[in-house]
Amino acid sequence: MVEWFADFTRVSFGGIEKIFDVSSVFCEFTINGQLYSIKWYGVIIAFGLVLAALFGGRIAYTWKMDLSKMVDVLIYGMFGGIVCARAYYVIFQWDYYSIHLDEIFQIWRGGLAIYGGIIGGLIAAFITCKLEKLNFLNLLDCAGMSLLIGQGIGRWGNYANQEAFGVFTNGNYGMMSDKVISYIEAHPELYGLEGVSDIPRYIEENNLFVHPTFFYEFAWCMLGVLVLYIITRKFRKFSGQTFLCYGIWYGLERTVVEGLRTDSLYIGNTDLRVSQVLSIAIVVVCVVILVVKLLSLRKKPVLIEGVDYFPADEKQVKKSKKNKPVLEEKENEDFANDSKKDEE
């Protein structure tokens, strides 16, 4: 017997009168008396990965990349990304998992760190590209836009679980739910409510909501897909440029949004948030590399290896082809003049 949609929670938004019943469980079923469940979190993450793969595959096809080899990169990259995303999260939450070892592999409950996934996916993709003899930098550019799709869609999994939200806000865009209230009751110090005896009543009387940070990231990622697409189509000058722009775009967003969240991973016993520190470092490194590379190309432009897709490249190719007959004619004239001199 399969039961569809379970574990509902009531969710409200500041500027909307309607109350939404949000399910965190896609389906439940019993096998040999044991109850199993498939969470919306996992379903949404998988859906985001499929969309990202389809989008990336379309770009790879347009760029005339070897799709059979790209499939290998995708498979190993996804595997490496999921493993490292979980490992990253567990490492920075080791105080909890050290006494709950049986939960380390229960990824369907949530707990996948995006930066861990990116790092693991890149390492696996790099190794696979070397083995398959694929251009890794072009692959990164292909992945930049695709990653934003997967990350943006995946954030709705946080909405289904009612997690990864932010601090209090009185804005019309704020969110509140039974699960959010339960979390605040369990961690009143994060919201400055240590001395409040009846937290649900306090929240209701003061019309308080929390920042729906999952939606901020979703919107930023979807906008980023459009921005990177335009950059790639109109302004891409070298392999790896789109991915550098991805690092800057996503790093800026994560630096801001991470500061609103109350469930951040911290470095040891410090107040430094892991994702903010990493985001700032990524933005700085990507900006420096991008500027240095673009400045160097002003002196010596080059065609992008293995890609004849972009207008900027096509113009250079057409220009070189247009000048070629002129150069050949000049070379012939020089050769004729030299021959006359030899005869004289």
Better pLDDT: 208 or 339: 208
For the chain, give the mean pLDDT: 85
List pLDDT tens digits, range 114-135.
888 889 999 999 999 999 888 8
CA angle 140-277-160, nearest 5°?
A: 75
42 vs 107: CA distance, rounded Å = 8
220 vs 152: CA distance, rounded Å = 8
CB 290 within 8 A of CB 244: yes
pLDDT of residue 111: 79
The secondary element (H helix, E strand) that includes residue 153 is: helix 136-161
Q: How far apart are the first and last CA of the chain?
A: 102
pLDDT of residue 314: 46
302 pLDDT band (50/70/90 cuts)?
low
pLDDT of residue 312: 44
Q: Would you kindly state where each structural domain of the chain is located, as residue ranges?
A: 40-65+135-299
Better pLDDT: 337 or 12: 12
The answer to whether the pTM exceeds 0.85 is no
Q: Does residue 176 surpass a pLDDT of 60?
A: yes
pLDDT of residue 301: 65
Partner residues linked to 297 by β-bridges: none
CB 283 within 8 A of CB 252: yes
Better pLDDT: 109 or 269: 269
258 vs 180: CA distance, rounded Å = 17
CA angle 6-173-113, nearest 5°?
A: 60
Sign of CA dihedral 225, 228, 232, 233: positive
Tokens of 259: 């500061």
User: Which of 53-57, 78-82, 178-182, 295-299 has the weakest average pLDDT?
Assistant: 295-299
pLDDT of residue 334: 53
The count of C-alpha atoms lying within 13 angstroms of the C-alpha of 246, restricted to the half-sphere facing its C-beta, is 20
In order of 66, 166, 203, 248, 255, the CA distances from 207 in angstroms are 56, 16, 6, 36, 28
The secondary element (H helix, E strand) that includes residue 183 is: helix 178-186
Residues 6 or more apart in contact with residue 344 via CB below 8 angstroms: none
| Mean pLDDT (whole number) for 263-274 | 82
Better pLDDT: 332 or 182: 182
What is the number of other CB atoms lying within 10 angstroms of the CB of residue 13? 19
pLDDT of residue 326: 45
